[in-house]
Amino acid sequence: MRKLYKIFIALTLCVFGVVNANAGERTPLTPDIFFAWDGWGADAQQTGPADCAYVLNESTGQPYGDPSVINYADLSLYSKLYVTCTEGTPRFLFNRTKDEGQYNENEAESYLLEYPKNGWSDRYFTKDGDTYIVDLKQMVKDKGFAHLHAIKGANWANVTVTAMELEREGKAQQVGWTELLVNGDLEGDDVTSFFSKEAPSTEVLPSVIYEGVGVDGSRGIMVQSADNPTQDWDTQFWMYFQENIPEGTKWRVSFDYRASQDGGSDTQAHAEPGDYIHYEMIGSPNFSTEWQHWTNEGVVTATQAGPNSNGGLFHSIAFNLSKNKVATQFFFDNLKFEIFKVGTVAEFSKTSSSSTSVSRPT
């Protein structure tokens, strides 16, 4: 029985605060974005303006912010902070999460992210000449927020800051449905995305594209199974992707297929071809001697995504082609496998296809 579910994905990019700026645009870090707050961490609320040190082009121990680390500027909507110095080394204090919170050499026990005082915060900071670059985007990814409490002089020494600038990313790229197979129409020679194992051999090899075996005499892939196989997976064909596909990813697949005689098949989730993860993936196409068109859609489950016992993560799909137990030639053409990447608005439908039905997104 076919069931149709409609799931609408509406992603409002302005939530991320990036829709009104051009990519790479820099604006000065100014005192007017520094506020008093009623608590610590991402859930704190503004309670009003706060006093803020703001010193450029002068030697000082406190170029920006609150020396007591009580108030802060919320930089969570920005991607990078650039601080240029001509004297001394700046000391950055970010992300206090507890009253009287202090830095700690152990990240798990720290209530304050401080640079350059502890090594675990180094991953957020790089230096280009006299300019220190703070990766706010990575900080938000790891911590959930980016709150700048103060820029001081390291080791209580003076520092001369000549510029403090914020960079905000441009509008997020609208990606949507993304094809993962290379040369899916098989008209080129690239077989990066296709592998086969043809019994009695157990070796997984790049698939072979043959002239004249595809739809209407075009080029196609042929996979040969043998008589009296031991297992349904003695002969296999893989669609292989250059990236892991995590749990929750929406996918849709289509291809043309036939065989030299009628027979069934199953599909599995694998990591590398032959590195099994899960026994069920995109359905069980039934082959016949006439060309058919298979389509299906779904969402990658936790068991399909892996990891498996080897640590492998899902990035290939295996077709088990030895179910009919007799030597058979299997043909494939016009293969597509797409995943939905966040960044746009799309309508998604789920259809469980039989081998003779054709489903389309609605």
Of residues 182, 335, 331, 339, the one with CA closest to residue 255: 335
| Sequence-distant (≥ 6) Cβ neighbours of residue 56 within 8 angstroms | 63, 161, 162, 163, 164
CB atoms within 10 A of CB 332: 26
The string of DSSP codes covering 13-26 is GGGGT-TTS-TTEE
Q: Residues 247, 302, 256, CA angle at the centre, nearest 5°?
A: 70
At residue 113 the predicted structure's pLDDT band, cuts being 50, 70 and 90, is: very high
Say yes or no to pLDDT of 193 above 70.
Answer: yes
Average pLDDT of the chain? 86
Say yes or no to pLDDT of 235 above 60.
Answer: yes
Query: Minimum mean pLDDT among 27-36, 48-57, 188-197, 353-362: which range?
Result: 353-362
Q: In terms of C-beta density within 10 A (0-12 exposed, 13-18 middle, 19 or more buried), how is residue 153 classed?
A: buried
pTM: 0.51
At residue 185 the predicted structure's pLDDT band, cuts being 50, 70 and 90, is: very high
pLDDT in tens, 288-331: 999 999 999 999 999 999 999 999 999 999 999 999 899 999 99
Pairing of strands 329-341, 250-259: antiparallel
Whole-number pLDDT of residue 102: 76
At residue 44 the predicted structure's pLDDT band, cuts being 50, 70 and 90, is: confident
Average pLDDT over residues 204-223: 97
Domain assignments of the chain as residue spans, ordered by start: 20-168, 177-350
CA atoms lying within 13 Å on the CB side of residue 227: 0
Please state, in angstroms and rounded to a whole number, the distance separating the CA atoms of residues 174 and 189: 30
> Which helix (H) or strand (E) is 263 found in, with range?
none
Is the model more confident about 284 or about 141?
284
Of residues 170, 173, 113, the one with CA closest to residue 146: 113
CATH class of 177-350: mainly beta
Paired strand residues for 267: 319
Average pLDDT over residues 248-262: 96
The string of DSSP codes covering 42-108 is TT--EEEE---EE--SSEES--EE-TTS-SEEE-TT-SEEEEEEEES-EEEEE---STT----SSGG
